[in-house]
């Protein structure tokens, strides 16, 4: 049996065909009616946040920072163990990125890592609930509030994840900060059939600025500031409206698969499982193993395709080495050597899930365990 790392839920079924036909015959292919309809439905799903549809999660980050007025001489704190787009956005707006380490037994930085680097130049924290794990997001929210910092959430991997606030009320991540970046890249919890993204805002004035920025800075007939072209494609918006209807069911399915994995894989030698945390969106199921590359090879032999998220922390990527020559972030560096993402997506069959469980148990068996 073969288990691909990811299979998209999209099929050319009746609903998709009708929607695509509708958009094609509308003649409006960029943003337009379909884009607005998606923005409004996604905004409702998020409990009323202002939503601006854009071209990708990467642009969503850049536009979120720009719309909030973050720029040169502002320091932005972000994890080193995350996707490269986070750092690109900070650098592109001309701000100063301050990379922090993750906690030793988690993929996320905590206040312990963040608080020491915050100073009078710090303008914003870029919070990334990586892999869907929302642990600590409420603490970050409270910290930013206390210290008068902007909170930008990169919820590219956590759309549908939530936390409980002080009163025990569930709140979706992406609605906690001043701005949130969403990605609809196909592997994300709400995936399009191509690139797409959105920015959510607390303040409608920031959303309005973002709306102009994504369309060449155009506002009431004038190019008021230097913008970009980052409008959401109407075909993608049309599909995303369909995807939104299945999102809650898909999130439930992800959580069931994660539960199954955790129950079945507990106590395998040397294997560290992700935490079964509250409100986790389970975009990716990432385990750690001291012999990660061998484990990966064995799983491949058994037909299970895996991916490495991420093979280097950002301060070790060649493009940024000159910027961070002396930075050492030991927990991130270790995670990059040990992390391995297993297949987890709603379209998995029961047989495929069983195959992953059995293969991981076999691959973690005696010889790999004896190597330490
Ligand atoms: C996917 C992702 C992005 C970028 O999204 P794209 O839509 O691929 O541009 C940004 N941040 C994180 C954490 C991501 O996983």
CATH number at residue 280: 3.90.1150.10
Atom of ligand 1 nearest to the CA of 188: 1
Question: Is the CB of residue 127 less than 8 Å from the CB of residue 151?
Answer: yes
* DSSP 8-state assignment for residue 240: H
Ligand 1 within 6 A of CB of 60: no
Domain boundary among 241, 274, 304: 241
Pairing of strands 162-164, 122-127: unpaired
3-state secondary structure of 199: strand
Asked if residue 365 and residue 304 are part of one domain, the reply reads yes
Tens-digit pLDDT string for the chain (372 aa): 999 999 999 999 999 999 999 999 999 999 889 999 999 999 999 999 999 999 999 999 999 999 999 999 999 999 999 999 999 999 999 999 999 999 988 899 999 999 999 999 999 999 999 999 999 999 999 999 999 999 999 999 999 999 998 899 999 999 999 999 999 999 999 999 999 999 999 999 999 999 999 999 999 999 999 999 999 999 999 999 999 999 999 999 999 999 999 999 999 999 999 988 899 999 999 999 999 999 999 999 999 999 999 999 999 999 999 999 889 999 999 999 999 999 999 999 999 999 999 999 999 986 686 665
Is position 101 within any domain? yes
DSSP assignment letter at 73: T
Task: Print the domain residue range for 295.
Answer: 247-369
The CA–CA distances, whole Å, from 258 to 120, 230, 251, 348 equal 41, 34, 11, 12
Same domain? For 176 and 29 the reply is yes
Q: Is the CB of 284 under 6 A from ligand 1?
A: no
- Is ligand 1 within 6 A of the CB of residue 83? yes
Determine if ligand 1 sits within 6 Å of the CB of residue 230: no
Kindly state if the Cβ of 89 falls inside 6 Å of ligand 1.
no
- Region of 32 please: left (phi>0), alpha (psi -120 to 50) or beta: left
Distances (CA, A) of 273 to 107, 218, 269, 303, 345: 11, 48, 11, 21, 17
Final residue in a domain of this structure, among 196, 225, 241: 241
Domain assignment of residue 2, yes or no? no
Query: Are both 165 and 208 inside the same structural domain?
Result: yes
Q: Are 64 and 207 contained in the same domain?
A: yes
- Atom 7 of ligand 1, residue of closest alpha carbon: 57
- CATH at residue 163: 3.40.640.10
User: Which atom of ligand 1 is the closest one to the Cα of 187?
Assistant: 1
């Amino acid at each position: 049996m073969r288990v691909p790392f990811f299979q998209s839920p999209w099929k050319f079924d009746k609903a998709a065909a009708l929607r695509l036909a509708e958009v094609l015959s509308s003649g409006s292919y960029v943003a337009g009616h379909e884009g607005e309809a998606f923005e409004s439905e996604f905004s409702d799903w998020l409990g009323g946040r202002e939503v601006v549809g854009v071209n990708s999660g990467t642009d969503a980050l850049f536009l979120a920072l720009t719309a909030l007025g973050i720029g040169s001489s502002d320091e932005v704190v972000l994890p080193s163990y995350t996707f490269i787009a986070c750092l690109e956005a900070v650098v592109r707006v001309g701000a100063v990125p301050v990379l922090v380490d993750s906690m030793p037994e988690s993929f996320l930085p905590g206040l312990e890592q963040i608080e020491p680097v915050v100073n009078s130049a710090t303008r914003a924290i870029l919070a990334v609930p990586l892999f869907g794990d929302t642990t600590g997001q409420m603490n970050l929210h409270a910290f930013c509030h206390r210290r008068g910092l902007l909170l930008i959430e990169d919820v590219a991997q956590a759309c549908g994840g939530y936390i409980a606030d002080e009163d025990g009320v569930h709140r979706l991540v992406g609605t906690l900060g001043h701005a949130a970046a969403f990605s609809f890249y196909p592997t994300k919890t709400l995936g399009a059939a191509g690139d797409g993204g959105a920015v959510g805002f607390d303040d409608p004035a920031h959303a309005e600025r973002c709306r102009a920025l994504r369309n060449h800075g155009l506002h009431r007939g004038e190019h008021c500031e230097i913008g970009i072209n980052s409008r959401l494609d109407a075909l993608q918006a049309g599909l995303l409206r369909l995807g939104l209807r299945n999102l809650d069911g898909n999130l439930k399915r992800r959580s069931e698969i994660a539960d199954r994995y955790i129950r079945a894989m507990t106590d395998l030698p040397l294997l560290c499982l992700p935490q079964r945390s509250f409100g986790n969106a389970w975009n990716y199921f990432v385990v750690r193993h001291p012999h990660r590359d061998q484990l990966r090879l064995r799983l491949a032999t058994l037909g299970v395709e895996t991916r490495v998220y991420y093979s280097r922390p950002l301060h070790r990527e060649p493009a940024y080495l000159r910027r961070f020559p002396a930075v050492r972030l030991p927990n991130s560096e270790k995670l990059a050597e040990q992390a391995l993402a297993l297949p987890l997506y709603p379209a998995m069959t029961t047989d495929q899930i069983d195959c992953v469980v059995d293969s991981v148990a076999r691959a973690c068996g005696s010889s790999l365990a004896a190597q330490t």
